[in-house]
Homo-oligomer: A and B are copies of this chain.
Amino acid sequence: MATVPILTDEAAGPEARAVFDDIRARRGTDYVNDFWRALANDPALLRATWERLGQVMGPGALDPLVKEMIYIAVSVTNGCSYCAHSHTAAAKARGMTPEMHGELMAVIAMAAQTNALATALQIDPDARFRV
C-alpha cells in the first residue's frame, strides 16, 4: 500500500521505461523492484536517483559489499523498512555471510547504544578530536 501507484512497464512513460531498461542492463536481471516503479511517477526523480546510485555504489576506495553494509546501517537507523529489506538482500547477493551479518548487527546495536549515552550526557567532543 504505497502513496503512489507502483507502475508496470506499460503504465510507465517512455522516459521511465528507459531507466527501467538501464536497471535491467546494469543488474543483469529482468526484475525491476518496486522502489523504482514507485519513483517512476516522477521520471526526472527516477533518473537522478538511479544515476547517482550508480556513481556512488560502484567499486572505488571502498568495496561494494562494504558500501552495502554501510547502506544497511544508515537505513536501519532511519527506520526504513523497505531499505532494510532491499539492501540486506543486496548485501547477501554480494557475499555477506551470516557471520558478517551478525557482526554488522552487533556494531549497529553498539553504536545505537553509545550514541544514546553520549547524547544523553551531552559530552563535548575532546579537543584532541579536532582536525
Contact = CB atoms under 8 A, between A and B. Distances in A.
Interface of A: 1-6, 31, 33-35, 38-39, 41-42, 44-45, 48-49, 52-53, 55-57, 60-62, 66-67, 69-89, 97-126, 128-131
A102 B71 contact: no
Chain A binding surface, main DSSP class: helix
Contact of A2 (B49, B80, B105, B124): B124
Given A77-B77, A122-B85, A106 B56 contact: yes
Contact of A77 (B74, B100, B129): B74
A73 to B, nearest CB: 4
Contacts of A82: 118-119, 123-125
Contact of A81 (B33, B117, B125): B125
B76 A110 contact: no
Contacts of A4: 101, 121, 131
